[in-house]
Amino acid sequence: MDTKIIIEQSDIAFGTSGARGLVTNFTPDVCAAFSIAFIKSIETKFSFNTVALAIDNRPSSYAIAQACAEGLKQLNVNVIYYGVIPTPALAYKAMLDDIPCIMVTGSHIPFDRNGLKFYRPDGEITKIDEQSILSASVEFITLSQDLTELCESQAARSAYIQRYSELFNSDALAGKKIGIYEHSSAGRDIYKPLFESLGANVISLERSDVFVPIDTESVSDEDREKALNWSKEHSFDAIFSTDGDGDRPLLADEKGHWLSGDTLGLLTSQLLNIEALAVPVSCNTAIEKSNSFKQVTRTKIGSPYVIAEFNELKAHFTRIAGFEANGGYLLGSDIEVNGKRLTALPTRDALLPALLVLAQNKCISNQLLELPNRFVASDRLQNFPTDKSRELISVLTQNVEVLTSGLGLQVHSAIDTTDGLRVTLINDEIVHLRPSGNAPELRCYAEASSLTVAKKLVVAALKFSNEYYI
C-alpha cells in the first residue's frame, strides 16, 4: 500500500492543529500511513531511532495509537507509549529525549471525531511539514485486525510534573482553595496531586467516564453556570480545567467567572516579563493597549503560525512567547522564573499560565482590574459546512456593508483578512468571522468595551450568518 494514496482517500485533513476527521475514517491503515509518512518526512533532518506516543480519553484513541505503533514498527523504530497524558507532557518529554512524537487527540471536537498531532524532536511540525506528510509516498504492508497491546510508561507524566513542581516553591499555592473540573481531561490524574504538592486545598469536580468535548474558546452556558454554582458552594479561590488533551486552560476567578484564554495569556506574559509576543489575529487588542511588550506580531489562527513567528522574534528579543484566544500558552525561549531556569516549550500548555496567575498574592479578579477594559466573546455555528463558511466570508469581504447594515452596526474603520474577515467599527468594536480549521463550524469572535456588548455582537453575527443562505 502507498501512504500518499491511503491518506488522499481517507477524508482526514490538517486543520489549525493536527490532522482531524471522523473516527470511522481513522482506519488502522490510515493511522499507519500518517505515522509512516510523518517519520519519512523528517528522517533526513533529525537523527533518532525512537518515537513516543500518547493519547487522550476518547474511546477511539487507544486503538488509533495501536495502529500508529504497528505502522512505525515497519520502519524499525522503537515506540514508547505514555498512555493518557496531556499533549504538552508528551511534547516536553519527547523534546527532552530529542525524539519525535505523535499525540492521538481530537482536543475539544465531538467524540465521533479524533485526530493526530505530530511533533518533530524540536517541537510542533510546521505547515510545510504538513505538506511533506501529505505528499510522502511510502510503500507499507496493510495491517492485520489484531493489533498489539501497548506497554505504558509513566516517564512523561513524571517529567511534566517535575517541570512545574521544581519551578514553584512548595507553598506557592498555600491557602488557596481550588476546584479542578476534571471531566475527561487527559491531565485529570496529574492536576490534583501537582496543585496539592504546591500547598493548595483541592476539590475534584465532575469526573466523567464519558468523553466531554470542552471547548475553552466557546464555553457553554452549562459550564458557565456550573462554575458560578461551584464557587458559591465551595468558596473557591479559583476553578481550573482544560480541554480534552490538556493543552488549553480554562480558569475561573473566585467569583466563578471563566477567563478568556487571551486574557489569561496577557496576564501570564506580564508576569513572565515577556518582551515580544506572537498571537493570532483573533486575540484581544488589550494586548497592545496594555503597552507591556516591545513587539506584538499578529498571525493566522493556529499554533503552527504562532510558532513560525518565534524565529523572527528570536533575532531581536530574548524573552518571547505566544498564546491563543483559546488559552494555549507557548513559551518560545528559555527564561528565568523565580530565580530558576524554565526551558522553552513551544507548544500549547495549560499549566504554566494557570499556575503563574494562581501563585500571585492578589485574587484573580483584582489582577484583571489592572488590564485595559476590553472584552472578547466567541461562539460557533456547529454543523456549518466549511465551503459554506468560506463562501459567506468571501461575499461579506467584498461588501462589508452587508454585514454591518445587516447587524445594525456603525460603519467600519478597518478590515483584516489575515484569517477570515475581521471588521473593526468606528467605535472600536470588532466582529470576526472565520471557518473552523478543525470541524465543520463557523466561528465568531467579537470585542467591545463590555462583555455584554461583545456577547450580543456574537449572537447577532451568528444569527445573521445562519440565516444568510436560507
DSSP string for 206-253: EE-SS-----TTS--HHHHHHHHHHHHHH--SEEEEE-TTSSSEEEE-
CA distance 32 to 65: 9
CA-nearest of 123, 126, 91, 103 to 57 is 103
Asked if residue 383 and residue 338 are part of one domain, the reply reads no
Q: Which helix (H) or strand (E) holds 271?
A: helix 261-271
- Asked whether residue 142 falls in the same domain as residue 25, the answer is yes
pLDDT at 436 (0 to 100): 83
Please check whether residues 46 and 126 belong to one and the same domain: yes
Q: What span, in angstroms and rounded, lies between the C-alpha atoms of 391 and 431? A: 17
Instruction: Specify the CATH number for the domain of residue 387.
Output: 3.30.310.50
**302 and 401, same structural domain?**
no
Same domain, 413 and 463: yes
172 shares its domain with 307: yes
- Residue 338 has a pLDDT of 85
Asked whether residue 160 is domain-assigned, the answer is no
Could you tell me the three cell numbers for 175?
A: 491557602
pLDDT of 7 higher than 70 = yes
- Residue 16 and residue 85 share a domain: yes
Note the pLDDT of residue 49.
Answer: 96
Mean pLDDT for all residues in the chain:
94
333, 368, 403 - which closes a domain: 368
- Residues 151-170: what's their mean pLDDT? 97
Measuring CA to CA, how many Å separate 380 from each of 152, 222, 292, 383? 37, 15, 31, 10
CATH number at residue 136: 3.40.120.10
The reported pTM is 0.91
Residue 289 lies in a domain: yes
Q: Which of 10, 41, 107, 218 is catalytic?
A: 107
| pLDDT surpassing 60 at residue 470 | no
**Which residue type, as a one-letter code, is found at position 181?**
Y
Is the same domain home to 38 and 63? Answer: yes
Residue 10 annotated to the active site = no
Based on the fold, state whether residues 303 and 395 are members of the same structural domain: no
pLDDT at 167: 96
Q: What is the pLDDT of residues 64-123, one digit of tens each?
A: 999 999 999 999 999 999 999 999 999 999 999 999 999 999 988 888 999 999 999 999
Span 432-444, pLDDT tens digits:
999 987 778 899 9
> Does the pLDDT value for residue 231 go beyond 80?
yes
Evaluate if residue 383 carries a pLDDT over 80: yes
Same domain assignment for residues 296 and 426: no
**Are both 306 and 193 inside the same structural domain?**
yes
The total number of structural domains that make up the chain: 3
* Range 182-200 average pLDDT: 97
161 in any annotated domain? no
Task: List residues bridging with 446 in a β-sheet.
Answer: 377, 431
Question: Per the domain annotation, does 211 fall within a domain?
Answer: yes
Look at residue 469 in the predicted model and tell me its pLDDT: 65
- Containing structural domain, residue 462: 375-468
306 and 351 co-located in one domain: yes
Q: Quick check: is 201 in a domain?
A: yes
